[in-house]
Amino acid sequence: MLLSKSCEYAIRAAVYVAYTSNLGKRAGIIEIAEAIGSPMHFTGKILQALSRKQVLSSAKGPNGGFYIDDRHSVFLIDIVRAIDGDELFTACVMGLKSCSDAGPCPLHDQIKPLKSQLLAEFSRKSLNEMVKEYEQNRYFLK
Amino acid sequence: MLLSKSCEYAIRAAVYVAYTSNLGKRAGIIEIAEAIGSPMHFTGKILQALSRKQVLSSAKGPNGGFYIDDRHSVFLIDIVRAIDGDELFTACVMGLKSCSDAGPCPLHDQIKPLKSQLLAEFSRKSLNEMVKEYEQNRYFLK
DNA sequence: TATATAGAGGACAAATTTATCTTTTAATAA
DNA sequence: TTATTAAAAGATAAATTTGTCCTCTATATA
């Protein structure tokens, strides 16, 4: 797996939250979990984490829920970093502590560009872009 | 993490086994675990799995251990498939069941070529190639 | 045949990830 | 102020991955 299950849920939840935010509404965890097909409470925890990391916002009480302040744009990499960190882009494929550009493992030179590309894709993909496609019914979230 | 810890150990152990096989010797789990810096018994389990999947061979008793029949060449992909399966190359990054070429997730088109490249690299990298570099002291296994 | 060697296999345990449930806190609105 | 709503937080549990230990089986060799 490229990303942890938590991170997959995080991305899908964030897309849904961005989607409802565009409609001027806040999304509650019940609604979100239903929309993306994930365990409700667990999804709540993940959204709390995203909220703490300022990827999105939350409000308690009536009409509360999760939302995204549309003044700051979120990129996929923000979500991935918040949940999985960035070892995906930095750690050695073979798990070697001694692996580095200077003393590379036998896969280093071939894998490095792939990791860079992955990082680049995650960095340029905005949540807004993903929401647009979702609004066009181009895909589901489960 | 791209690969599971088990798979990382598997690759490193396989390189070491191929290395000792080239020297006409068999490697025992104590020696292997020491060489690659991994938990001994756990490494034994992993090697058993590789043996069952015919990636390498084993022999019991005195002078026994793990070895690789040099008539069949092993590629990295064989090890990865044996331990982690191939969901790394096939599963959706966002964890969507509904994701496919026909109904792609918003990352599908960008990630697909990366997964193909990863698969290609793993498919063309032979254990022998990795051993050669190891023999030249180009890297360590821990 | 007896003994020592070394992997195979099973049972078990620790650690991590994923998932659930309950209580607390904050906010809204009546 | 009170009741209600919904996230935050904490405790607990299930599942998976990682790691350990002990016994069994096969093999070599004396």
DSSP B51-68: HHTTSSEEE-STT-EEE-
- Residues of A within 8 A of B110 (CB-CB) are 121, 125
Residue B32 CA to residue B24 CA, distance in Å, equals 15
Give strand letter and number of the nucleotide nearest B44 (CA to C1'): C7
The pTM for the full model equals: 0.95
| Cα–Cα nearest to B130, from A80, A111, A63 | A111
Q: Pick the residue from chain B with its C-alpha nearest to A112.
A: B118
Q: Tell whether A130 lies on the interface with B, counting CB pairs under 8 A.
A: yes
Whole-angstrom distance between the N-terminal and C-terminal Cα of chain B?
Answer: 17
Q: What is the pLDDT of residues A91-126, one digit of tens each?
A: 999 999 999 999 999 999 999 999 999 999 999 999
At the topology level, CATH places domain B5-84+126-135 in Arc Repressor Mutant, subunit A (1.10.10)
| pLDDT (0 to 100) of residue A134 | 85
| pLDDT (0 to 100) of residue A72 | 82
In angstroms, the separation between the Cα of residue B64 and the nearest Cα of chain A is 27
CATH 1.20.1280.290 fits A5-135, yes or no: no
For an interface test with A, which of B1, B43, B46, B86 has the most A Cβ atoms less than 10 Å from its Cβ? B1
CB B17 within 8 A of CB B68: yes
Q: How many C-beta neighbours within 10 Å does residue A141 have? A: 20
Asked whether the predicted pLDDT for residue B140 surpasses 90, the reply is no
Q: Which residues of chain A have pLDDT under 50?
A: none
Q: Tell whether B93 lies on the interface with A, counting CB pairs under 8 A.
A: yes
Q: Do A104 and B1 touch (CB under 8 A)?
A: no
Which amino acid is present at A87? E
Q: Which residues in chain B (107-126) have CB-CB distances under 8 A to chain A?
A: 107, 110-111, 114, 117-118, 121, 125
Q: Do B93 and A138 touch (CB under 8 A)?
A: no
| pLDDT (0 to 100) of residue A38 | 98
Q: What is the pLDDT of residues B27-55, one digit of tens each?
A: 999 999 999 999 999 999 999 999 999 99
In angstroms, the separation between the Cα of residue B105 and the nearest Cα of chain A is 6
In angstroms, the separation between the Cα of residue B106 and the nearest Cα of chain A is 6
Asked whether the predicted pLDDT for residue B70 surpasses 80, the reply is no
Whether nucleic acid strand D comes within 7 Å of the CB of B57, the answer is no
Enumerate residues 6+ apart whose C-beta is below 8 A from A113: none
Q: What is the pLDDT of residues B80-137, one digit of tens each?
A: 999 999 999 999 999 999 999 999 999 999 999 999 999 999 999 999 999 998 888 7
Q: Tell whether B130 lies on the interface with A, counting CB pairs under 8 A.
A: yes
Whether nucleic acid strand D comes within 7 Å of the CB of A87, the answer is no
Provide the residue ranges of all domains of chain B, joining segments of one domain with +.
5-84+126-135
Chain C: bases < 7 Å from a protein Cβ? 4-10, 17-22, 25-29
